[in-house]
Amino acid sequence: MELPEEKRLKIREAIFASRQIEAIKLGREATGCELKEAKDFVEQHSAELYAKDPQKFSSPPKGKGCLGVAVMAGLLVMGWIAKTLR
């Protein structure tokens, strides 16, 4: 996949930050290629970058999940129960 250097750098930054989906989107926007081609490019590029410089990769964020959704659901249920008991 041929990319301008500026776009390649943005894709590389996304890969180093463990944002593969963003890297794939950037590749597709820059070239107009299909999803599979962009995904294959990012995976191959990621492997090459990791082999050269593994310490530049950040680990995926930990602790992110559905806590916010669970809290919101709990609040809604509590509100519904309080309203029902009145």
DSSP labels, 27-77: HHHHH---HHHHHHHHHHHHHHHHHH-GGGPPPPPSS-SSHHHHHHHHHHH
Higher-confidence residue: 85 or 26? Answer: 26
pLDDT given at position 61: 47
pLDDT tens per residue, range 1-27: 677 889 889 999 999 998 899 999 998
User: Which pTM does this prediction carry?
Assistant: 0.61
pLDDT given at position 59: 63
Higher-confidence residue: 86 or 46? Answer: 46
